[in-house]
Structure 1
Amino acid sequence: MTSVPPFSSLPIDKSGPPYNAWGLYTSESEDEKGRLNLVTPEVIKRGKEAITEGIVINLNLPLDFPPVHASRSPLEHKIKCSGHSNDDILTFNTQTSTQWDGFRHYPYQNWPEEGKFTFYGGMDISEASDTNVKKYGVHNFAEKPITSRAHLLDIPLYLKKHNLTPLEAFSNENPITLETLKRCAEEFNVDIKSGDILIVRTGFTESILSKSSEEKEQLKKRKQGNQSIGVEATEELWRWHWDLGISAVASDCPSYESWPPPSDKLSCHQVFLAGFGLPIGELFDLRELSQQCEKYNKYTFFFTSMGLNVPGGIATPPNAQAIL
């Protein structure tokens, strides 16, 4: 495996955008997988050793989970009956429910100039939007399933334990700081090593599920209808993720980071997806995982995810589980 240089070495491609890791992986197969190259056989075996209770936990919301973003259509489920048997016909946006964002989802905005959008590896928006182009698709998350040791940082629980101000699920004004992530990791004895997956709970899922259909529609009609909690987008946060060797991130909120980010600054989506080649998981169902981790005082576990094998796909349901 290619050795990973420190964050201070970024950008790898000096002619590319800030913080990019383009050209770090020399073989085509490695390049397609980005940070998932850090998940070696040794890392996977380390994840297996984290199984102590034999408890399997689903991390996926139903596919018919109401879309958080008004622009995304809900699941359409039809049953085709031939008279003696039935078939399912599903039509859905892969980003309406629990999902992995692939590397063709979100580019550097207005780079290298206004009106230009550049994805991981320098792919432009015309390539990324072409179904005939398969490079950097989510099929890579199926050909090499995302399987590793993972850690839960349960931010609402940490804040409650210390009588700190709770998170506001539908606001981007007070994002989760790097300092809070670090203190939460220390509180729950989380020791992140290269190749591990980081999962951050915000409580967003519980908040959105507590709303009536009318209240959900009103949220979408706000001036910024997709406003939501998440981690902060700062250079120090990106440095921390890079230098720890985190291979993928996921959360129960719509964007992992606080959204929308300031329009005049880089976002985690730009740096992680288009720069690092780091998969971002969104709207993971962390309710039972949170309960079981608290019950056993155990925040490190084995994680497996087999996405849809769609060549050139943009995003995919993760079909993810945690095994404690």
Structure 2
Amino acid sequence: MVISRDLLTYLAEYAVREPEPALLPLIEEFKKTYPNLRAILFYGSCLQEKDLTRSLVDLYLLTKDYRGAYRNPALALANYLLPPNVFWASRDRIRAKYAVMALWHLEKAVTPRWFHSYFWGRFAQPTALIWWKDSLSRQRALRILAQAVVTFLQETIPLAPPQGRIKDLWLTGLTYSYRAELRPESPKRLWELWEKNKDFFKEVTQRAVPALPFAINLQEDRYVAKIPAKLRKLAHVKWSLRMAQGKVLSVLRLAKACFTFQGGVDYALWKIERHSGKRLEVPAALRRHPFLALIFWGWRALLTRGVR
């Protein structure tokens, strides 16, 4: 799969940004905490916020490897087996939730070889590259974003009608991608996501089409996709499996968060309540066994409303 230079050029113009001044103290702290840090990605709903003190900033810290990122080998192993590791950080008035992942690992995770959509579904959406160690790290980070777009379209276009608007492609893909995680979004929320970023979605679609393994013709904001019926049926089967897999992965990631940083149980409960609508209470006795608490309470919430 060859990523077009046109797509990389566009992403270099769109994604490469100077960090907001309010983020600079956090970035300096990250550079000290993770000596092998290679790049920092900024994504999520607050990417377009002017006042970052009112939101929880979402960041991805990309390191050279896991051994050099942690003094604790257990954290390195957990990051490798079930990426990413998620932590909290705050500096001055900025609060951030940041994930740590090796650069090589994320490069692999945004390709079609990575079955679940957790990574390529996330980074196909607007993302900013706000820090990089050197030109090679910058280039690799941009290729990650480009590959995520191509993989997302390759895996989701067969779900959409044979013809329609580019908007239909993305709303269909985003719907399935969010359903495969602990973060289902309402049609209204997805529509707002499209409206805020429609120029980005249209631009990357135009530039990603040459890399797709099937024929799709674009005319302004409309498309015609010539995809065999067998491939469309296979796509629906794959997404059914991803949704089932996503429930398991969501619970495991939340359980892991209980052990990887202070306040992990509270973070996991907040995550479940935010995305499932279920407010859970964990007795003090169960807090001493966070894995059991999250498996029992979290799994019940996920089955009822977490991932539909």
Q: TM-score band, normalised by the shorter chain?
A: under 0.3
Q: Which has the higher contact order (CA 8 A, sep 6+)?
A: 1
Q: TM-score of the superposition, structure 2-length normalised?
A: 0.24
Structure with greater proportional helix content: 2
